Structure formats: structure tokens, C-alpha cells
Amino acid sequence: MKAIRLNQYGDPAKVLSMQEVPIPEPGTGEVRIRILASPINPSDLLFVRGHYAGVQPSFPSPAGFEGVGIVDALGPQVQNFVPGQRVIALNTKTGGNWAEYAVLPSDFLIPVPDDISDEQAASFFINPASAIIMVRRLLAVPRGEWLLQSAAGSEIGRMIIKLARRDGIRTINVVRRREAAEELKQLGADAVIVSTEGPIDEQVRKIVGPEGVKYAIDPVVGETGTQIYQSLGDDGRMLVYGSLTGEPIRVGADPRFILAGRRILEVFWLGYWFPRLDAAAKQDLFNEIVELMREGILKTSAALKFPLHDVAAAVRQAEEKGKQGKVLLVPGT
């Protein structure tokens, strides 16, 4: 079969290549699926660069944590799936969905409802689950409160805007380009600020007042994360769920923010949080995603599709600033 592999960490456009490898055979409790589509997520690219702490590869390494496919073969003791069934593949242990076939434990597969398209199912889990967990579970932002987020124009940022609007939460959304503001307001953003037009914390306080915000979400860190933290009120709480700059947050940049109040800065990583849910809680989360996807709240933007042999162009497109739509690798095209 054809599969994407990396032989070393580095620039994804340079170290990823399509190779011919044996079709894997499912073992006990495992299922082989024929991949229909797999997205290129920021976590995938962090993994390729060697900056993703959750999974350590053995080179040559497969890649691709998320995707949708068709059940192709069952290993011994698999009873809850049948060949030909369409499933979501959460290949979060080792990766491997950027390929024509992948083998996963049956517990890492989710049946896809018929009314969810392949394009939506391919990105069913990572962004939608993270949005729900951060907004509704961990922060549990009450109706009427302000939620501040950076990288608001990203796929997950757009989901958070729509989810917050549905739940009666007001959002302040940080972007780098003024031209992105109107589009986000049409999605339901209450306020949009541009990071290049002045310190984020000063712009935030012009909107909410000198007390700052109680809730914030940031995947950028570095100077953006520092200014998001400085936007918190005395009892504010901030979740960091990414590291797009790879730079530190300077929590002690202003002594007022470490010597007064009770601000909380914590990390959210889906790969840590999700496995600790029991079976009933996982099913509740899946059902919640399906419901909100059907409503269009957790809908991924129109996909840009690339064949496996064009992986270099695909990853370059995935990292293009201001791009519209999720990038998918689609075997067989």
C-alpha cells in the first residue's frame, strides 16, 4: 500500500514522503480500515517537527492521527464492527492515517452516522472535542460571561465562536489581520481585536472594563499568550492548548499579576484528558459532537483535498496564513 512516512524530524514539506509498505494485518481486538480521508492538523505537524510530547515515533514513522475510513478486515475477538462499515479512526497512539490502510484497536473507532459527510467525519474529533471540553467542561463558562481567545480565525477558533454564541457566551477574538474581523463577526463573534493594533490586554479592557476577563483560551503562547494572560481579572482562568510560536508565556511580566488576585494558568491536552473518561462519558461526548455537527455549530470549513503523493504541497497549504478550509489527504485520488 501507499503510506506517508518520515525518517527524521524536520520541516514537514521536506521530511514527509510517500512510500510503498506492506498492508498491515489486524491482530486480536484490532480492525483494519481503508482510509477515505485524513486531515492535516496542527498536532500532526508538531509531531513531524518533534515538538509533540504525547507520541514518540520509531523511525521510519507513520503519521496522521485522525480520519475516516471503511472497515476492511477484522482481527480475532472483534464483535462490534462489520466489514464495509464507515468509521472514524482515532489513530492517536502511533499515528498512521496518512495511508491507504491503517490498523487500530476497535476501541479507537467510532461508527459514523449516515448524515455526516466524509469531509466532516474526517475531522470529527480533535477540534470539536477540544472545543466542547474547554468551553463546556473545564472552564464551564456561564451564560453572559466574556470568553477571550487567540487564533480565532483557525478552524477550532471558529467552532468556539459558534459554540459560545449558541450557549449565550460573549467572545472576544484575537486575530492578526483586520480583514478577518468582519467574517468572524458574521459567525457570531461579539468583538474582534487585531493583535498588531495595540497590546491585547489594553484592547480587551476597553471592551470589558478595567476588571479584565474571567475566561481565556490560547494556542499561541509567546507574546500573544503573555498578553492574553495579562487580560485576566483577579480570579481569571486561562487554558493553553497549543504552542504555535514555541515560545514561553511570561507570567511574571508584570508583578501585579503574580502578587494580587488568584489567576489560574493551566494546560489542556486532549490526549491526556480523553483517555481518562469512562465509556459512558466518551459516548456522551461523541453524541454531543454529532448533535452540534448536525446543527452546523462544529462544522469544519470546506476541505481542500490532496492525494498522498502530493503531501509536500498539502502540508504547505495547511500552514498557509489566512487559508480557508481544512486540508485533507485523500488516498486513491
pLDDT confidence tier of residue 230, bands split at 50, 70 and 90 = very high
Which sequence spans correspond to the domains of the chain? 2-123+300-329, 127-271
Task: Note the Cα 87 to chain centre separation in Å.
Answer: 19
E strands in the chain: 2-6, 16-20, 30-39, 68-74, 86-89, 101-105, 109-111, 146-149, 170-175, 191-194, 213-218, 232-240, 264-267, 304-306, 327-329
Give the C-alpha separation, 301 to 166, whole Å: 18
pLDDT tens string 261-310: 788 999 999 988 988 999 899 999 999 999 999 999 999 988 899 999 99
Asked whether the predicted pLDDT for residue 258 surpasses 80, the reply is no
pLDDT tens string 77-91: 999 999 999 999 998
Q: What is the pLDDT of residue 52?
A: 78
Give the C-alpha separation, 307 to 44, whole Å: 17
DSSP 3-state of 287: helix
pLDDT confidence tier of residue 152, bands split at 50, 70 and 90 = very high
Beta bridge partners of 216: 148, 238
Give the C-alpha separation, 69 to 301, whole Å: 20
Q: What is the pLDDT of residue 194?
A: 96
Instruction: Residues 2-123+300-329: name the CATH superfamily.
Output: Medium-chain alcohol dehydrogenases, catalytic domain (3.90.180.10)
pTM, rounded to two decimals: 0.92
Asked whether the predicted pLDDT for residue 55 surpasses 70, the reply is yes
Cis peptide bond prior to 60, omega within 30° of 0: yes
Give the C-alpha separation, 218 to 84, whole Å: 40
Asked whether the predicted pLDDT for residue 64 surpasses 90, the reply is yes
Asked whether the predicted pLDDT for residue 226 surpasses 70, the reply is yes
Q: What is the pLDDT of residue 329?
A: 97
% of the chain at pLDDT higher than 90: 79
Which residues 6+ apart lie within 8 Å of 6 measured at CB?
Answer: 15, 16, 17, 48, 57, 59, 60, 61, 63
CATH number of 127-271: 3.40.50.720
DSSP 3-state of 307: coil
Q: What is the pLDDT of residue 243?
A: 83
Q: What is the pLDDT of residue 118?
A: 96
Asked whether the predicted pLDDT for residue 15 surpasses 80, the reply is yes
Give the C-alpha separation, 166 to 169, whole Å: 8
Asked whether the predicted pLDDT for residue 256 surpasses 70, the reply is no
Mean pLDDT of 97-109: 96
**Cα separation values, 170 from 143, 163, 167, Å:** 8, 10, 9
Q: What is the pLDDT of residue 54?
A: 67
Asked whether the predicted pLDDT for residue 257 surpasses 70, the reply is no
Mean pLDDT of 160-171: 98
pLDDT tens string 134-147: 999 999 999 999 99
Give the H or E element holding residue 251: none
Q: What is the pLDDT of residue 275?
A: 87
> Do the domains at 2-123+300-329 and 127-271 have one common CATH topology?
no
Asked whether the predicted pLDDT for residue 155 surpasses 80, the reply is yes
% of the chain at pLDDT higher than 70: 97
Q: What is the pLDDT of residue 76?
A: 97
Q: What is the pLDDT of residue 56?
A: 76
Mean pLDDT of 121-145: 96
